[in-house]
Amino acid sequence: MKKENKPDTSPISSAYIDILKKESDKAFLSCKNLNADTTFTEAVSSALDGSSQEISYKAEHILLHDIVNLFNSLTLVYGNLSSIPVKAKFILIYLYERLQGKDLSKSFTLTKMNELLLSPLLDKNITTIRNTSFFNPVKELKKEFIVPSILLKIHSKKALRISSFLNRIASLIVKSDNKISKEEEALLKMVSKKINHPKVLVKKAAYNEVPENDTLETVMKELNELIGLKEVKKNIQDLTNFLKVQKIREEKGLKTTNNSLHAVFMGPPGTGKTTVARMLGRIYKHLGYLEKGHLIETDRAGMVAGYVGQTALKADEIIKSAIGGVLFIDEAYALTSGGLNDFGGEAIEILLKRMEDHRENLVVVVAGYPDEMELFIQSNPGLQSRFNRYFKYDHFDVDGLLQIFKLYVKKADFKLTKDAEEKLLEILERLHKKQHRGFGNARTMRNLFEKIIERQANRIVSITPITEEILITLIEEDIPEILKTVKEIIQFSGDE
């Protein structure tokens, strides 16, 4: 995108200065308050690149990083720096100075500030600001707005204030030439979305947001379209109906049953436990039981540290990031498998306390093999009292495995010939007969699919001319040798 414009030399008015002063004063005060908030300062390190861990960043530095990110994103429509309106540049300079404790409106007269905007050094100063590393975030957050991300992660009440500030500054930058092009309007919408729905990074955990424009009907439709899981789908439908009725009773002032939403998912790998947990969070949100409905996915490594005092901090960070949604702990029984000197028990105690502290807005789903999960729940009276919903996941049958494989084929724009499908079916039937509890199900189908398309690529790479039909077709030759493949898969899943 390129927007050809002559530099805007219109003067900055006193009213415009007042707007920037009010906005920057509120932002500066918010930053001072955040610097005194230990929850914020502790969370900063999780967004910081490893090479910069020794640097002590203040909230002002991180907010400046976000403002530069904002400026760079919204001025992409201009071909070069000299074409960017001077008002937009002035916004950047004013906020840069204010967040370092300097108020230009007190240091310079209005006339002097307008003279500065005509200085040949203006663009040099702007370049310096844009190239300064106010904050060095981890790779996953390089293009994100860091302060909103951290505030959302720690559930700070200041999140809305900072997000609103950034949105207002974005609007001022875009309107700095008194007109908004379609390109600028699109950029403003994109930036606003990133500000209001920032990416949250939790170490040793995955953050899954509720899809935009999501509805209860959408979730239930997706649930019913899942392959297999007949019993699980029925149980969730029953639970949904029960919770709907409980809400209606509550609205009419009738007594309701105490609803424990925590759940235990018992079953082998690759049977859809994580997928269903994501849906459960969305269902709870749409029914009014959770504020956000997002899912934080973790395991023992995400909650347990290797030395005294750190497990509590580590577990607490992940649990807090799940408030308003669902915390999904895979292979949860591993928390109790470390012996007497292990810190898993400490993580469980933190978990139980937070489940009590946030019982109105936190759901925990623990998952793993059936036998181990039963022992895990029985290992602590607190776990027994909080988990009373059990969902059992079984291995997929041959038809279910074939449907999963065909889903990968369809999504990747391939197709199976009849001979290829028959050979594949022979592999699946043998796998199903020999499967043990560690068999990977959907995970195994994905690995098998990747192996098959790699074989297809080796087969067709020298064919000329190559047609679309050749590119998308998987033939019998692409399916690996039956007995050898079954042996490798069983051995691999057994090692897991």
**According to the model, what pLDDT value does residue 495 have?**
43
pLDDT for res 154: 79
Query: Looking at residue 384, which CATH number applies to its domain?
Result: 3.40.50.300
Closest CA to 488 of 447, 450, 456: 447
What is the model's pTM? Answer: 0.71
How far are the Cα atoms of 44, 134, 198, 363 from residue 150, in angstroms, in the given order? 7, 16, 9, 21
- Claim to verify: residue 189 and residue 257 sit in the same structural domain: no
- Going from the C-alpha of 126 to that of each of 85, 96, 117, 267, the distances in angstroms are 12, 10, 11, 57
Answer yes or no: do 139 and 27 share one domain.
yes
Distances (CA, A) of 258 to 15, 80, 116, 414: 56, 62, 66, 49
- pLDDT for res 471: 92
142 shares its domain with 239:
no
- Which residue has tokens 């050979």? 423
- Count Cα neighbours of 388 within 13 Å in the Cβ-side half-sphere: 8
DSSP 127-194: HHHHH--S--B-GGGTTS-HHHHHHHHTT-TTHHHHHHHHHHHHHHHHGGGS---HHHHHHHHHHHHH
Do residues 159 and 261 share a domain?
no
- 317 in the same domain as 433: no
**Does 107 reside within a domain?**
yes
Q: Is residue 9 part of a domain?
A: no
Residue 140 confidence (pLDDT): 79
Residue 357's pLDDT is 87
Alpha carbon distance 91, 126 (integer Å): 10
Neighbours of 280 (CB within 10 A): 27
Q: Is residue 6 part of a domain?
A: no
Pairing outcome for strands 415-416 and 473-474: parallel
Per-residue model confidence (pLDDT) at position 2: 47
| Strand spans (E) along 107-223 | 205-208
Q: Which of 360, 392, 424 is the last residue of a domain?
A: 392
Tell the residue number behind the tokens 């861990």, with chain if given: 53
Q: How many Cα atoms are found within 13 Å in the side-chain-facing hemisphere of 105?
A: 17
Q: Which residues of the chain have pLDDT under 70?
A: 1-10, 50-53, 203-205, 306-309, 337-342, 436-440, 492-496
CA distance 201 to 297: 11
Give CA angle at 279 (411, 408), nearest 5°. 15
Tokens at residue 356, please? 């009590």
User: What pLDDT shows up at residue 1?
Assistant: 47
- Write out the two tokens for 377: 């729940």
SS3 (DSSP) at 416: strand
What is the tally of structural domains in the chain? 3
How is the beta sheet containing 390-392 ordered, strand by strand?
Answer: 205-208, 295-298, 326-330, 363-368, 263-266, 390-392
The answer on 366 and 261 residing in a single domain is yes
Dump pLDDT digits (tens) for 69-123.
999 888 888 878 888 888 889 999 999 999 988 988 888 888 888 888 888 888 8
Q: What is the pLDDT of residue 203?
A: 66
**Are 275 and 351 found together in one domain?**
yes
Residue 2 counted as domain residue: no
Rounded distance between C-alpha atoms, residue 305 and residue 301, angstroms: 7
Q: How far apart are CA 461 and CA 187, in angstroms?
A: 41
**Token pair for residue 405?**
């494989």
- Is residue 408 located within the same domain as residue 319? no
CA pair distance 406, 204, nearest whole angstrom: 32
For residues 376, 380, 381, 385, the Cα torsion angle rounded to the nearest 10 degrees is -50
| Residue with the two structure tokens 């925990």 | 364
Structure tokens at 19: 């707007």
Q: Determine, yes or no, domain membership for 175.
A: yes
pLDDT score at 62: 92
* Phi and psi, residue 64, nearest 5°: -60, -40
Of 392, 414, 434, the domain-final residue: 392
pLDDT in the model for residue 152: 84
Q: Are residues 377 and 481 in the same domain?
A: no
Q: Cα dihedral angle (60, 62, 66, 67), rounded to 10 degrees?
A: 30
Q: Do 270 and 135 fall into the same domain?
A: no
* Domain span holding position 55: 14-201
154 within some domain:
yes
Q: Write the CA distances from 467 to 144, 260, 417, 461, integer angstroms.
A: 41, 57, 16, 12
DSSP-derived pairing of the beta strands 205-208 and 295-298:
antiparallel
Given a contact cutoff of 8 angstroms between Cβ atoms, the answer to whether 265 and 277 are in contact is yes
- In a domain, residue 8? The reply is no
The CATH number assigned to the domain holding 430 equals 1.10.8.60
Domain-terminating residue out of 152, 179, 201: 201
Residues 347 and 410 in one domain: no
Beta strands in 24-148 (DSSP E): none
The pLDDT score that the predictor gives to residue 309 is 66
In a domain, 216, yes or no: yes
Q: Do 383 and 311 share a structural domain?
A: yes
DSSP 260-289: ---EEEE--TTSSHHHHHHHHHHHHHHTTS
